[in-house]
Amino acid sequence: MSDPFQNNATGLTSPALNHYTITPSDSADLPVRPRAIFALTDGNAVLRDQAGVDVTYPVTAGTLLPFRPVRVLATGTTATLVAWY
């Protein structure tokens, strides 16, 4: 497939190029720090920032969280989430 944008730099304001389903964990950081989190189902997303602060976000399916967490905790996370990077 041709990519007319292949010579353009990718920045935080450009679309993501990759994604993965998040497996929440209370002990392990995400394998790749995303540029955003997308909710596939309703529920809660417990996200840890780079300072170690955890915040619970109530989300509905289709919610986009423009946040770059280092971890998604298993305890309290009930939504199915996808990372975009």
Residue 10's pLDDT is 81
Q: Does residue 58 lie in a domain region? A: yes
Q: Does residue 77 lie in a domain region? A: yes
Q: What is the pLDDT of residues 24-35, one digit of tens each?
A: 999 999 999 999
> Is 12's pLDDT higher than 80?
no
Q: Does residue 1 lie in a domain region? A: no
The pTM of the full predicted model, rounded to 2 decimals, is: 0.90
Q: What is the mean pLDDT of residues 9-18?
A: 85
Q: Does residue 80 lie in a domain region? A: yes
Kindly state the percentage of the chain with pLDDT values over 70: 100
Q: Let me know: does 72 contact 25? Beta carbons within 8 Å.
A: yes
Q: Does residue 14 lie in a domain region? A: no
DSSP the chain: ---TTTTSPP-TTSPPS-EEE----SS---SS--SEEEESSSEEEEEE-TTS-EEEEEE-TT-EE----SEE-STT--S-EEEE-
Q: What is the pLDDT of residues 60-83, one digit of tens each?
A: 999 999 999 999 999 999 999 999
Give residue 45's domain range. 19-84
